[in-house]
Amino acid sequence: MRAEIQNITQEIDTSLELLRQRLGWDTARHRLEEFNARVEDPNLWDDPAKAQKLMRERQALVDALSTHDTIQSELSDNVELIEMGEAEGDVAIVTEAETALRALGKRAAKKELEALLNGEADANDTFLEINAGAGGTESCDWANMLARMYVRWAEKRGYTVELQSEQSGDEAGIKSAAYKISGHNAYGWLKSESGVHRLVRISPFDSAAKRHTSFCSVWVYPVVDDDIEIEVNPSDIRIDTYRSSGAGGQHVNTTDSAVRITHHPTGIVVTSSEKSQHQNRDIAMKALKSRLYQMELDRRNAAINEAHDAKGDAGWGNQIRSYVLQPYQMVKDLRTLHETSDTKGVLDGDLDEFMAATLAMDVSGKSRAEAQGE
């Protein structure tokens, strides 16, 4: 067997070992038996919220075990085919099995990384907020580009995207936008995007065609599950209603249905501008509880807290990632130093490699400064 294929095989074995560690391999099968026994309890659905949580946990374990066993089986099958092909001098079989093994190696590495998404809220849906920073119209246009980038990323993953609120820019783009992105591990993947994003390009709004630098801040926090209790004291909040801004014509909202909730102790402000005021109150309150829950997670998680503290204002010196379109093409993450010249692909939503690099860095325990130093 060629050295390259031996290395791929060893890498897959390493991924399988890490998957077993994450699963708690010695007790995984026993835990599944316990889940199955509890699922058969006729009184399970007396408490729907508890039952749904149990079913999600069980399915996650089933999926993880199935993933491990499938990779293990395909690895054994392809290694056997290569050995058999080499013994019989069948080049076609060897080539086919080696191709399959390379693809399996990539899949195993991806599954290994996904197994690292085991934080308290990683599996949850997420809220994503984008705010234009220093740069005026340029930054509003950049905010619009970021919104498109994240929506495309989410859609490629099969996630559901709901626009919660949006404020248009004075001349172009958007001043701010808030989305709810729903899907398994949505928060776990997107949490690494919190921070300031910097764009360098020739401005389409400058008749002199000069290069401009723009900034936007991105904030990501998990949607709180119904079974997580977050108490909000009514005396701590102010609820304002106002008229939503629309596209004009028949779409103009003629009632004060939009809702803004201000949480006085923390200064958090959340908004929602759907058609129904009742719906907006519900959405905004859920967003507020999610923000408060995120703050609690931050206090308990030093790594996340450090990342948010480092986010800073949307301006010079605080960016986590730079998107340079002129005078050269490069997107570079300043925490992991991961970079690519495929700027078009990134702006079209190809963000997985950047997210994976940050996730791996967080798990390895390297700080932002250490990563930059390397």
For the stretch 65-77, pLDDT in tens is 999 999 999 999 9
Radius of gyration of the chain (CA): 24
pLDDT digits (tens, 9 = 90+) for 114-149: 777 877 778 889 999 999 987 788 999 999 999 999
Average pLDDT score, the chain: 84
Pairwise CA distance, residues 213 & 215, whole Å: 7
Sign of CA dihedral 50, 52, 55, 57: negative
pLDDT digits (tens, 9 = 90+) for 210-245: 888 999 999 998 887 655 567 788 889 999 887 665
Residue for token pair 């080539």: 95
pLDDT band at 275 (very low <50, low <70, confident <90, very high): low
Pairwise CA distance, residues 340 & 208, whole Å: 29
In terms of Cα–Cα distance, which of 71, 55, 61 is closest to 28?
Answer: 61
3-state secondary structure of 258: strand
Q: Which tokens in the block code for residue 119?
A: 């934080």
Confirm if 194 and 295 have CB atoms less than 8 A apart: no
- The verdict on pTM exceeding 0.75 is no
In terms of Cα–Cα distance, which of 272, 120, 128 is closest to 192?
Answer: 128
Strand order in the sheet with 237-242: 237-242, 258-263, 268-272
In terms of Cα–Cα distance, which of 260, 261, 254 is closest to 232?
Answer: 261
3-state secondary structure of 277: helix
Q: Which tokens in the block code for residue 122?
A: 């990683």
H or E stretch covering 174 = strand 174-182
- Asked if residue 255 has pLDDT above 60, the reply is no
Longest dimension (CA), the chain: 80
- Asked if residue 307 has pLDDT above 80, the reply is no
Torsion of CA 178, 181, 187, 188, to 10 degrees: -130
pLDDT digits (tens, 9 = 90+) for 33-64: 999 999 999 999 998 888 888 898 898 889 98
